[in-house]
Amino acid sequence: MLYLYAPQEADVYQALLSRAMPGREVRVWPEPVDAASVRYAVVWGPPPGFFAGMRRLEAVFVLGAGVDKLMARDDLPSSVAVVRLTDAGMAQQMLEYALYGVLHAQRRMGEYQHQQSAAQWRPLPARLASQTRIGVLGLGEIGGKVAMGLATLGYRVRGWSRSGKPLEGVAACKGETGLEDLLADSDILLNILPATADTRGLLNERRLQGLPKGAFIINAGRGEQLDQNAVLGLLERGHLAGALLDVFSEEPLPVSHPLWRHPAVLVTPHIAAMTLPEEAVSQITANLAALVRGEKPAGLVERARGY
């Protein structure tokens, strides 16, 4: 049996999974099931205790790329394989989101918005893509494609990752020294890192101050990685020019939070790279078949690394 927990589009996922795996029983929460008969689960943000009693559970397939909340659960044994989505259409969306933020900063659209509110007509000096330095944090399946995509458009791109792996058109760096060098050389900082113990709180005030004056931040990784109060303070002091933020330490972002009303901040509701049902089910089906054959599926999470 495959048990599905999808707070959104559950009917769509059930239909797609049943069609893709006609020989397998697909049940949907909150339909009661015999927990001991569940061998596979497809989930996104299941409630506490969801996996309790699933003694035959072999694998959990996640409807997204982030698995940090699953790693912290006490009802999911370490013997159960956790498989995340490695792309499933998200890389293209993330590139589009990143490009929106990059163009907003490069073409000085925030300043033009301010001018519009004051009915001012004042052209500003142009900055070419080749003159724009972009630092990308996270060079995995999604981040790597985003970094290379921006490089092909003529931007000067540096990338930072745990391994410092080389990518075409991207200057790779790693370690604390590499991070400091990247920050100092980034007119635009794009964060697409996974949530791990090592990345939590990474972008604190000290590191953000290492960005050049007038830098712009795009955060589409995880909210816990970026010090939101530090961002507000650096914006007020004029060190940062603006920010495009898609993820937050508390979601939904509380209505009273000052980020909503800051004129240099663009807020989006965690939509930078949304899961596409058809793509996700195609990948889950292939990964489940790989597991059944005794092969390693794409996106198998290494618990020690957290992704």
Catalytically annotated residues: 222, 270
As a whole number of angstroms, the distance between CA 124 and CA 118 comes to 15
Residue 252, preceding peptide bond in cis (omega within 30° of 0):
yes
If you count them, how many residues does the chain have?
A: 307
Cα distances (angstroms) measured from residue 34 to each of 16, 23, 50, 301? 23, 19, 12, 27
- What lies within 8 Å, CB to CB, of 296 at 6+ separation is 290
As a whole number of angstroms, the distance between CA 187 and CA 155 comes to 11
Helical axes 277-292 vs 10-20, angle rounded to 10°: 40
Phi-psi region of 260 (alpha: psi -120 to 50; beta: other; left: phi over 0): alpha
The radius of gyration of the chain from alpha carbons, rounded to an integer in Å, stands at: 21
β-pairing, 26-28 vs 40-43, is unpaired
Strand blocks (E) in 79-202: 81-83, 133-137, 156-160, 170-173, 188-191
Residue 171 one-letter amino acid:
A
H helical segments located in 153-227 = 175-184, 205-208
Among 135, 146, 109, residue whose Cα is nearest residue 241: 109
Calculate the CA 296 to chain-centre distance.
23
As a whole number of angstroms, the distance between CA 220 and CA 188 comes to 13
Q: Are 51 and 41 in contact (CB under 8 A)?
A: yes
Largest CA distance in the chain: 68
